[in-house]
Amino acid sequence: MMGAMTYRVCLVCMGNICRSPMAEVVLRKTLENHGLGDRVVVESAGTGGWHVGDPMDERALEILALHGYDGAEHRARQFTGDWFDRYDLVLAMDRDNVSNLRRLAAPGGEVRLFRSFDPDAPEGAEVPDPYYGGREGFEEVLALVESASEGVAEHIADEIH
């Protein structure tokens, strides 16, 4: 990345209503805190299409709001193979979605686990899907994405500088 070009990242989970939009909101704020908000576009999507156009899960919105984040603008989208050309970095929340994305990717379309940027996370660590659980699952997701977002922001800062 050179000069004032915009760096683009897409965060991906299954339905794009819990994990990836939470991570999108958190990463965007983290990048702003690092002075990179105007240089990086953060978006999210799901590998499945059943929630396309829907807002974020109410529980995810509530947990974000309790911690000072706003996810109200989010609407779910589905990732398609031609999107790889749009992004500098595609990060999946878990191994299933890494596999789903790799099936869509043209040669050279790189996918990494979101938590691979968290220095405290074990190798291969995932962001678990909170959808079928209670509120504590969404709290856990927020803590995990906050921790990994710092590492993602540092990686992006290195890439653009």
Active site residues: 13, 19, 129
DSSP 156: H
Give how far the C-alpha of residue 98 lies from the chain's centroid of Cα atoms, to the nearest Å: 12
Q: Which residues contact 1 (CB under 8 A, 6 or more apart)?
A: 7, 88, 159, 160
Residue 70 corresponds to which tokens in the numbers above? 């706003």
- C-alpha–C-alpha distance, residues 14 and 54, integer Å: 13
**Spatial contact of 63 and 142, defined as CB atoms under 8 Å apart:** yes
DSSP string covering 8-54, please? EEEEEESSSSSHHHHHHHHHHHHHHHTT-TTTEEEEEEESS-TTTTP
